A and B are shown apart, each in its own frame.
Chain A
Amino acid sequence: KQEVTQIPAALSVPEGENLVLNCSFTDSAIYNLQWFRQDPGKGLTSLLLIQSSQREQTSGRLNASLDKSSGRSTLYIAASQPGDSATYLCAVTGSARQLTFGSGTQLTVLP
């Protein structure tokens, strides 16, 4: 059974800092990996999708990398802002074509 782990569970940083969120998965037979953002009491917003054949994807200040063989992904956020405060979820689409989520990293960016 696929398991997805996100470290750290919570992170607090001062505004302007660059930061890295980590995601690991136990079964490397994945189709893709997706990073989401969830604000309190809200739904999930897709940030980046990396197909299994890709190494990284970028969107604005966000960069996500994927190392399928080692079962790892990182989400890099440059020049963090208070508006980046949210929970970040990593999810993989595995061989059963179903999405398995990590438990998330709760990010707080302090002004």
Chain B
Amino acid sequence: NAGVTQTPKFRVLKTGQSMTLLCAQDMNHEYMYWYRQDPGMGLRLIHYSVGEGTTAKGEVPDGYNVSRLKKQNFLLGLESAAPSQTSVYFCASNRGLDGYTFGSGTRLTVV
């Protein structure tokens, strides 16, 4: 029972490079989320999805794009990485109003 799987676990990017973070869940959850965690700022919602083919902006969406082409996958894209996007990124999923299940995180450094 894998739960929520994030890839990659670590990545170093140069400023201006692009990348995609992948989140996969095997629990048939409708809702999926991307958070970033920064020291002193806690966890903040970037984007979320309430079902396949839908996406919505969270608290800090600028500089990120997302896609939910398949129910089990939620992709987070950085088109032109900036040092301010250095963070730990967490994906989560749930059925809507039940508890959240989180992935183990992706540690991203932009130099």
Our pick among B40, B42, B48, B100 for the contact of A34 (Cβ within 8 Å) is B100
State the Cβ distance, A69 to closest chain B Cβ, in Å.
20
Our pick among B42, B45, B90, B101 for the contact of A98 (Cβ within 8 Å) is B45
Q: Among residues 28 to 82 in chain B, which have CB atoms less than 8 Å away from a CB atom of chain A?
A: 33, 40, 42-43, 45, 48, 58
Query: What is the size category of the interface that chain B forms with chain A?
Result: 10 to 19
A92 CA to B22 CA, complexed, in Å: 26
With contacts A46-B101, A49-B99, A93-B97 known, is A99 near B90, CB below 8 A? Answer: no
Q: Please, which residues of chain B bring their CB within 8 A of the CB of A103?
A: 40, 42
Query: What is the size category of the interface that chain A forms with chain B?
Result: 20 to 34
Q: Please, which residues of chain B bring their CB within 8 A of the CB of A31?
A: 97
Q: Please, which residues of chain A bring their CB within 8 A of the CB of B101?
A: 46
Q: List 27 A-B contacts (CB under 8 A).
A: A31-B97, A32-B99, A34-B99, A36-B102, A42-B104, A43-B102, A43-B103, A43-B104, A43-B105, A44-B92, A44-B102, A45-B102, A46-B102, A49-B98, A89-B43, A91-B43, A91-B100, A97-B97, A98-B48, A98-B58, A99-B33, A99-B45, A99-B92, A99-B100, A102-B42, A103-B42, A104-B42
| Chain A contact residues, CB within 8 Å of chain B | 31-32, 34, 36, 42-46, 49, 89, 91, 93, 97-99, 101-104
| Chain B contact residues, CB within 8 Å of chain A | 33, 40, 42-43, 45, 48, 58, 90, 92, 96-105
